[in-house]
Structure 1
Amino acid sequence: MKLATLQNGQRDGRLAVVNRTLTQAVWAPAPYLTLQLALDDWQQASPILTALSQQLEAGALASFAFASEACLAPLPRAYQWADGSAYVNHVELVRRARGATMPDTFWTDPLMYQGGSDDLLGPRAPIVCPQVDYGIDFEAELAVITDDVPMTCPPADAASHIKLIMLVNDVSLRNLIPPELAKGFGFFQSKPASAFSPVAVTPDELGEAWQDCKVHLPLYVHWNGQQVCQANAGVDMVFNFAQLIAHVAKTRRLGAGSIIGSGTVSNTDRRQGYACIAEQRALEMIEYGAPRTPYLQYGDTVQIEMCDARGQSIFGRIEQVVQPLGQ
């Protein structure tokens, strides 16, 4: 099942069920007018929405043309957005470039930060930044949406709480990060609004690509039309999504509609490219002693997409342009 939130003049949009080829859609029925309402009652909502999805695929329903341009984020605002760093190779590389060692615990205890969840961007929303010298960077990731998760939920149980999967562009302002981290209180100004794929999908939509709570498919990133990443999201993911959820739930409950991110997808095989500019700059720092690749500039475009084995887009494409404030 594939779900999207379409613009309807309301802040939280209107929930729609989308077909597998992302060409047709039908409205979700009352009372499930938004994705959050469906997640709040997922045990009852899921069979109803699944039945609609099956009828839509069979051509048994009157439907309308689906357009990614009309999409908000699947959850335009969420009760929680927590982003991990499951690809430890990425962390190690960035730290090594600045001469910092990495604690051994990073391989056994996930990194996690809590992002802003009140303003989650749709797939075509621009990346707006007041100053280009903040060091604007894309970060291509995956994320899951949970139902209610109890405190101390172990990884073995956390898998059953994963209800939907989507793509993320977790934008970072790299030049604001060092002074924030120096304060010892983590990211804030350096993490503006993140953008999400047009649709969120249930794990069964991924078929055999969904194994061990990981998505074993390449993630494609294009920067100004040039492909810079084809890293496989299932390779080198040290902590799977069940482990990330269990980490967040160690001391708190998660409410239905919580979003948990994977962190920047990264492969140790450098031929697979980079899912964020900081990683490429780290490699350049190690090899040349200084970075050569600039961060995003105004007017730059970023595209993030994942396709199945037949080349069909699974989540739709994130397509963003970098703009100054007020444009």
Structure 2
Amino acid sequence: MKLATLNDNTRDGRLILVSRDGSRYVEVADIAPTMQDALDRWNEVEGALKARSAELESSSIPSHPVEISKLHSPLPRAYEWIDGSAYINHIVLVRKARGAEPPETLETDPLIYQGGSGTFLAPTQDIPLVDFNWGLDFEAEIAVILGDTPQGVTPDNALDYVRLIVLVNDITLRNLIPPELAKGFGFFNSKPSSAFSPFALTPDELGDAWKNGRVHLPLRTTYNGELFGDPEAGPEMHFGFKELIAHIAKTRPFTAGTILGSGTVSNEDRSRGSSCLAEKRMIEKIDTGEFHTPFMNAGDTVEIEMLDKNGHNLFGTISQKVVKV
């Protein structure tokens, strides 16, 4: 199934089902009024949602055209937004960029931080620029939305709790990170509201691209109208979602609607480009001794999307413009 949330000027929006080609939708308020309600009652409503989705695909019920600009984040707010950093190439490059060494447990223990989840940006909402000197950057990622997840799940059964998959622009203020981390207490001001893809997919929609807790497709980022990167999301994800879920559930359970990110998708093969400006800047520094690419400024645009092997846009496109506030 492909699900989305209409921005109807209420805090949590209105849940809809979207056709596989992303062009049409149907209302499902009689089944579940919001995405969070559906997640809370997933075992109860999944069958009815699947039946309505089949009716949509067969065109046996009336539908409406999808307008991406009228969609909110699939979850306009969430109980928790937790982000990992599962791509080792990214960790190494961005640590070099701020003069830090990778942790000794780089390959054995996942990096995780907990971000703000009370407000998310809509997939076509402007990115506010308060101060250029804060170092505004995009980060293209994949995330899973969990159902109720008990403490102590293992990698063997962790994927049983994945309900939906989305794309993320995990917006970061790079120049605020070093002084924050120097306090020894983690990210906060450096992590403003993130944006998520228009559509959330159940794992079965990805077919054989979803395997071993990883999405085996390229994640495409376009920056100011030009391809910035299309790294493969699957092979170099050192910790898959099953390991990330087991890691976060080591000491506590998680409620339905928790979002867990992969971290910035990154490949060692430089020909695939990057999923954030910080990586490109570090490569420039390694090659030339200087940073050349600036961080984002007013008027810059970024688009993040994932195409299947037939060129179909699976999650819709995160399409944002930076606006000075």
Q: TM-score, normalised by structure 1?
A: 0.98
Partner secondary structure for residue 155 of structure 1 = coil
Q: Is the 8 A contact 1:147 1:161 kept in 2?
A: yes
Displaced runs of 4 or more, over 6 A: none
Deviation at 1:39, TM superposition (A): 0.3
User: Deviation per CA, 1:207-256, whole angstroms, max 9, x where unpaired?
Assistant: 11101010000111000000011101002100001111111111111000
**Rounded Cα–Cα distance in structure 2 between residues aligned with 1:267 and 1:50:** 36
- Do residues 167 (structure 1) and 167 (structure 2) align? yes
Q: What residue ranges of structure 2 are gaps of 5+ in the alignment?
A: none
**Equivalent runs, 1:1-327 vs 2, <5 Å:** 1-325=1-325
Q: Is the 8 A contact 1:97 1:286 kept in 2?
A: no
Deviation at 1:28, TM superposition (A): 1.1
Deviation at 1:157, TM superposition (A): 1.1
User: Deviation per CA, 1:178-210, whole angstroms, max 9, x where unpaired?
Assistant: 100101111100000000000000000001110
Letter in 2 for 1:71: L
Deviation at 1:99, TM superposition (A): 4.6
Q: Is the 8 A contact 1:126 1:321 kept in 2?
A: yes
Q: What residue ranges of structure 1 are gaps of 5+ in the alignment?
A: none
Deviation at 1:88, TM superposition (A): 1.3
- CA RMSD after TM alignment: 1.0
User: Deviation per CA, 1:37-66, whole angstroms, max 9, x where unpaired?
Assistant: 000000011111111111100111111111
Q: Is the 8 A contact 1:31 1:37 kept in 2?
A: no
**Rounded Cα–Cα distance in structure 2 between residues aligned with 1:22 and 1:94:** 35
**Rounded Cα–Cα distance in structure 1 between residues aligned with 2:46 and 2:221:** 31
Q: Percent identity?
A: 52
Q: Is 267-276 or 25-34 further displaced after alignment?
A: 25-34
Letter in 1 for 2:153: C
Q: Is the 8 A contact 2:137 2:173 kept in 1?
A: yes
Partner secondary structure for residue 255 of structure 1 = coil
Q: Is 287-296 or 68-77 further displaced after alignment?
A: 287-296
Partner secondary structure for residue 232 of structure 1 = coil
Say how many residue pairs are matched: 325
